Structure 1
Amino acid sequence: MDLTKKYTHSHQFSSVSDKNERRTWYVLLLTLVTMSVEVIAGTIYGSMALLADGWHMGTHAAAFCITLFTYRYARKHLHSGKFSYGTGKVGVLGGYTSAIGLGIVALIMVAESVHRLFSPLEIQFTQAIMVAVIGLIVNVASMFILGHEHHHHHHGDEHDDHGHEHGDHHHGHHHEHQHGHGHHGHDHNLKAAYLHVLADALTSLLAITALLVGKYVGWTWLDPVMGIVGAVVITKWAYGLMQQTNPILLDASISQGYQEKVVAEIEKDGLTTVTDLHIWKISADHYAASIVVVTPSKDQADDYKQALQKFGKLSHLTIEVNYC
């Protein structure tokens, strides 16, 4: 038997999705075409509204470029061995970066809205409504292209959604384990791109409402107020995305309850004691565990591995056994 093959395994826990990358490319091209048309039309017809929205589209194009760069970087280094646990966190970092970008956009929206609230500008309602409608159509189309199956729900730590075979390390020996994934799991990178177009669609919808009311009722103050409302909602989305990605990037521990269940399983013989335990995320969907046990029994690391197979979240398991 080839012991090297048996006891060596991959440390790759990335979920690089070609489908999601293609979706982002389509949305980027749609955004660039719309941006070019608006900038050219705005220049020819002297429309500041068209020009402003065209350049605004450019900020979203930049965000999509971050998303695409992240996918390409993760794929390039997929098997390079440059990263201890693969490139699983690259997409998470891309999502976190885009969340910061969303937050900055929200701050700019608030500043501009407050300025316009106290220093109103003359609004060309018909032209502005046309631009907002174009923006809404483009962003709704982009939302459908990106898809929405990954963006409505959150999985808590206690939801066991992965079934993996587990490997272990015992005094320096490497044991093979396989990772079979039926889906790509949480793609924070794609979610960030989706939130960008969702935020822009919300902004366009609020703008259309405010402009229609302003045109027919005369409430011009509603336009900047809607801008502030949109900024608050976008800030909430950005903060939510940061809350999801931040713990992964900072190697936050899994929930206390999950750790207690792992300890209880190992110590159920009444002889073994867990003296050190770390369980943390190494990608958006995978956890690593490092466990040190002290026992007077003759149990081997493989015995503890078998006992922990029910904990499907533990994709990479390292166990040190000390006999006492």
Structure 2
Amino acid sequence: MTTADRPELDAFREDRTYLGADHRRNERRTWLVTLICAATLVVLVTGGLATHSMALMASGLHMAAHVAALLVAAAAYALARRHAGNPAFSFGTGKVGYLAGFANAVVLAVTAVLMAAESVHRLLNPGEVHYEDALPIAMGGLVVTLVCMWLLKPTKVAADRYDPQGDLNLSAAHLHLTADAAVSVLALLAIFAGRLGFTFADPLAGVLAAVLVAQFAWTLLKRAGAALLDINPSPELTAEVRRRLSDGGERVIDLHLWRLGPGHHAAIAIIAADPPKPVATYRARLAGLAGLSHVTVEVRGGHEGHDHHHPGCGDG
């Protein structure tokens, strides 16, 4: 192997900053939504204390869970941005948002369990429901949630072709609010049904809402867990990298791809060629590939490739 063919790091991004394209925009909006929910929380709790309304107090406590989840998301944005250039993070801070998303998924899962337990209890032990008092609370909560959902609506950027999940931290916060909106709709339907005499509708709606929230939590857990465990995020991008690297008849004997952050991926490739070309040749083939931000390429002679190939090599 010549000096030019030694393993070499392709610095597609010299700054090693792998934050999403809309990081600052998403951070600002997350903080704004957090403030809106916090203000709503204060109004609900204050109103509950003034009127001795348990309905308002319960709604306030429910909003407190949203504020906690949004604070986690907002803090993740701030932490990732502040330490983006910290060399202690070998591959940047782009995954901080995935960790926050996983935490919020756990919160959603716990919420689903608590909702299910309380709903089943009320099915077995029915209590009086003040539908007229609950109606404006449910409607007001739905309006606030819809406004916050609109503010946190994810944007689509060109680099997302190979990363359709986009900013998972924002998606987690948005999914949290989506679950709340779905619960609010179910609550409104239950209230209207209860006013017509179907008293079982209220706890039944709670059970259905718990199942729905659990589904949201499971989806988010899988997405965040896949990123944190470095599961291949894009078979399409992997296939494109393999195609470009073998464009001159070379063999890609080992290829690993993983996510670094929203819209950013890293790849490690070992290529067997006879005769081997300079590493710069293979780097040039991958230049400009959307979503690929960090590449390590090792080139071996054709005989070396045969000697080192084993069944464990392949796509990562």
Q: TM-score, normalised by structure 2?
A: 0.83
Q: Does 1:247 pair with 2:241?
A: no
Aligned equivalent of 1:222: 201
Do the aligned partners of 1:102 and 1:234 also contact (CA within 8 Å) in 2?
A: yes
1:24-35 matched pairs, under 5 angstroms:
24-35=30-41
- Aligned partner of 2:264 in structure 1 is 286
288-297 or 86-95, which deviates more: 288-297
Q: CA deviation at 1:312?
A: 3.2
Letter of the 1:189 partner, please give it. Answer: N
Matches of 1:127 and 1:118, distance apart in 2 = 23
The aligned residue for residue 43 of structure 1 is 49
Deviation at 1:160, TM superposition (A): 4.4
Q: Which string of whole-angstrom CA distances, capped at 9 and with x for unpartnered residues, describes residues 174-207 of structure 1?
A: xxxxxxxxxxx81211121112222222212211
Matches of 1:19 and 1:203, distance apart in 2: 28
Is residue 317 from structure 1 mapped to residue 315 from structure 2 by the alignment? no
- Structure 1 residue 273, shift from structure 2 partner: 3.0
**Conserved 8 A contact 1:92-1:284:** no
Counting only pairs closer than 5 Å after superposition, residues 179-218 of structure 1 correspond to structure 2 as 186-215=166-195, 217-218=196-197
- For the structure 1 residues 257 and 201, does the alpha-carbon distance in structure 2 shift closer, same or farther, using more than 3 Å as the test? closer
Deviation at 1:32, TM superposition (A): 1.6
What is the aligned counterpart of 2:284 among 293, 300, 306?
Answer: 306
- Which whole-Å deviations, capped at 9, do the CAs of 1:37-81 have from their partners, x for residues lacking one? 221221121111111111111111111110111011101101111
Deviation string for 1:94-153 (max 9, x for gaps)? 112111111111111111111111111111111111221221122122222223546xxx
1:266 pairs with 2:284: no
Residues 275 and 292, structure 1, Cα contact 8 Å, conserved in 2: yes
Q: Which amino acid aligns with 1:219?
A: F
CA distance in 2, matches of 1:200, 1:298: 57
CA distance in 1, matches of 2:185, 2:123: 19
Assess, with a 3 A threshold, how the Cα gap between structure 1 residues 72 and 252 changes in structure 2: closer, same or farther.
same
Contact residue 78 and residue 86 of structure 1 kept, 8 A: yes
Aligned to 1:10: 15
Residue 318 of structure 1, CA deviation: 0.8
* Structure 2 Cα separation of the partners of residues 110 and 71 of structure 1: 32
AA at the equivalent of 2:284 = Q
Q: 1:298 to 1:194 in 2, by over 3 A?
A: closer
Contact 1:279 1:289 in 2 (8 A): yes
Give the whole-Å Cα distance in 1 for the aligned partners of 2:237 and 2:45: 54
In structure 2, relative to structure 1, the CA distance for the partners of 1:140 and 1:8 (3 Å cut) is closer
Once the two structures are TM-superposed, the CA of residue 254 in structure 1 deviates from its matched residue by 4.5
**Matched residues, number:** 288
State the identity as a percent: 36
Q: Which residue of 2 aligns with 1:63?
A: 69
Q: Secondary structure at the match of 2:227?
A: helix
**What amino acid is aligned across from residue 185 of structure 2 in structure 1?**
L
Verify the 8 A CA contact 1:248 1:284 in the aligned structure 2.
no
Tell me how far apart the structure 1 counterparts of residues 94 and 86 of structure 2 sit (CA, whole Å).
13
Contact 2:259–2:266 (8 Å) recurs in 1? yes
- Residues 279 and 145 of structure 1: is their aligned pair in 2 closer, same or farther, counting only changes over 3 Å? closer
How far the C-alpha of 1:264 sits from its partner, in A, is: 4.4
What secondary structure is seen at the aligned counterpart in 2 of 1:12? Answer: coil
Question: What amino acid does structure 1 have at the position aligned with 2:208?
Answer: V
Once residues 175 and 32 of structure 2 are traced to their aligned partners in structure 1, the CA distance between those partners, rounded to angstroms, is 16
TM-score (norm 1): 0.81
| Native 8 Å contact 1:280 1:288 kept in 2 | yes
Within-5 A mapping of 1:126-165: 126-149=132-155, 159-160=161-162
Q: 1:7 to 1:91 in 2, by over 3 A?
A: closer
Is the alpha carbon distance of 1:149 and 1:320 closer, same or farther for their aligned partners in structure 2, counting shifts above 3 Å?
closer
Q: Distance in 1 between the 2:162 and 2:171 partners?
A: 21
Q: Is the 8 A contact 1:161 1:312 kept in 2?
A: no
Residue 94 of structure 2 aligns with an amino acid whose one-letter code is G
